[in-house]
Structure 1
Amino acid sequence: MLAAILHGIVLAFGLILPLGAQNVFVFNQGVSQPKFRKALPVVITASLCDTILILLATLGVSVIVLSVPALQTVIFTVGLLFLLYMGWSIWRSDPVALNQKEGAMSPKKQIMIAISVSLLNPHAIIDTVGVIGTSSLNYSGSEKIAFTTACIIISWLWFLSLAIAGKVVGNFDTKGTLLKVINKISAIIIWIVAIYIAVELFKMF
């Protein structure tokens, strides 16, 4: 049981730690919102989306969905275009504006974008299915439940911590110097992921 829990913790951290569109958006909302509680919609939405992906992966449903070539092509294409757009938006974003009114999005907009960066990212979907889904096959019964629960808890704690870190940075980095560097690096990482997806999409034809 303990081995399954530790395995879930390590895998979840490994998948969620790299900078990406989802992490950047949660962090940025932590920076831009005047009060931390106003960033909770993005934290909850991102966590719920990850929970859904993890459950689908461990239950094997996502493997069935991604086994349909046409559906997989659509997901990859939409995801590729979305990541290219997200990378460009983050690269051009003005960190200073994140502390202004226009940077603090409404709960509805936070939820919509969080769903997009979570569920329209084929790289994240493939990682969840390929790593967490495959690893869950090693367990059954209570061990599988423990493994899945550990992955989900780490996801929730991570997004909560990310928003808190954003709020702390926002309070000290009023000129947006650090955030500007983070945004540039994040945009490059997102474009690298987009290139990877483009290669995978090319292989399908």
Structure 2
Amino acid sequence: MESLASGFLLSISLIMAIGAQNAFVLKQGIKKHHVFWVSLVCAVSDALLIAAGIAGFGAAVEAFPTLETVARYGGAAFLIIYGIKSLMSAFGPDHSLEPEGEEPDSLVKIIAMTLAFTWLNPHVYLDTVVLLGAVATQYEGTARTLFGIGAMSASGVFFFSLGYGARFLAPLFHKPVAWKILDALVAMIMFTIAASLLLG
């Protein structure tokens, strides 16, 4: 059980940092648009990456640095584009979360964007694949499996809590100025992470 708790605590400490993926989940949660699917895609993606890390894929990523380079520049380009979109929204016409307000994007588009935020983010490979994979090597057999289960559970708990917990902020975002501030903050997060990828 110690390995289960260790996997859970390490995983959730890595996920909790505010990043592009978390900002996107938060925004969809506030808007109440496809929250279940966004949370599920994030959790399942993390579970697959954690499983790959524990299975030893972290060593493969380190052996082929080209994979990291492709993810770095592809992720930076995606974040810049999304950041520009958020910035335009922040300085565009007023909008709020009233029932007659913004129409939700299609489920297919939202899932595609969620996958992009997850799989085009090089940091996710460092955290879930390389780091968790490296820590998992200190466990053997059943203990390693429990470590992986704990790490995957943390991801599921976090993303569903973030997605559905965000709706408690919805009343605040009936005010157009609050929505503009959020869009501006999201844009800043996207640009900052993109810069760290390009300059790192």
- Same fold, judged at TM 0.5 (above): yes
Distance 2:84 2:50 in 1: 28
Quote the residue 1:101 is aligned against.
102
Quote the residue 2:159 is aligned against.
159
Distance 2:141 2:41 in 1: 28
What are the superposed Cα offsets for residues 55-106 of structure 1, whole Å, 9 maximum, x if unpaired? 111111243145223333222221121222233333333483555233x222
Asked if 2 retains the 8 angstrom alpha-carbon contact of 1:42 and 1:107, the reply is no
Asked if 2 retains the 8 angstrom alpha-carbon contact of 1:29 and 1:105, the reply is no
Q: CA shift at 1:177, angstroms?
A: 4.5
Q: CA shift at 1:183, angstroms?
A: 4.1
Q: TM-score, normalised by structure 1?
A: 0.83
Asked if 2 retains the 8 angstrom alpha-carbon contact of 1:79 and 1:120, the reply is yes
Q: TM-score, normalised by structure 2?
A: 0.85
Quote the residue 1:203 is aligned against.
none
Quote the residue 1:52 is aligned against.
48
Distance 1:18 1:183 in 2: 18
- Counting aligned pairs with the same residue, the percent is 27
Asked if 1 retains the 8 angstrom alpha-carbon contact of 2:72 and 2:197, the reply is yes
Asked if 2 retains the 8 angstrom alpha-carbon contact of 1:45 and 1:114, the reply is yes
The answer for unaligned runs of 5 or more in structure 1 is 201-205
Distance 2:112 2:197 in 1: 23
Quote the residue 1:83 is aligned against.
79
- Residue type of the partner of 1:125? Y
What are the superposed Cα offsets for residues 80-139 of structure 1, whole Å, 9 maximum, x if unpaired? 21222233333333483555233x222211111110000000122122233211111111
User: Structure 1 residues 112, 177: CA separation in 2 closer, same or farther (over 3 Å shift)?
Assistant: same
Quote the residue 2:14 is aligned against.
15
Distance 1:179 1:101 in 2: 12
Q: CA shift at 1:146, angstroms?
A: 1.1
User: Structure 1 residues 179, 111: CA separation in 2 closer, same or farther (over 3 Å shift)?
Assistant: same
CA RMSD of aligned residues (A): 2.3
Quote the residue 1:26 is aligned against.
25
Distance 1:82 1:13 in 2: 25
Structure 2 residue matching 1:19: 3-state secondary structure: coil
User: Structure 1 residues 117, 53: CA separation in 2 closer, same or farther (over 3 Å shift)?
Assistant: same
Distance 1:181 1:134 in 2: 39
Q: CA shift at 1:14, angstroms?
A: 1.5
Aligned length: 195
Q: CA shift at 1:186, angstroms?
A: 3.9
Distance 2:139 2:159 in 1: 26
Q: CA shift at 1:178, angstroms?
A: 4.5
Distance 1:49 1:135 in 2: 19
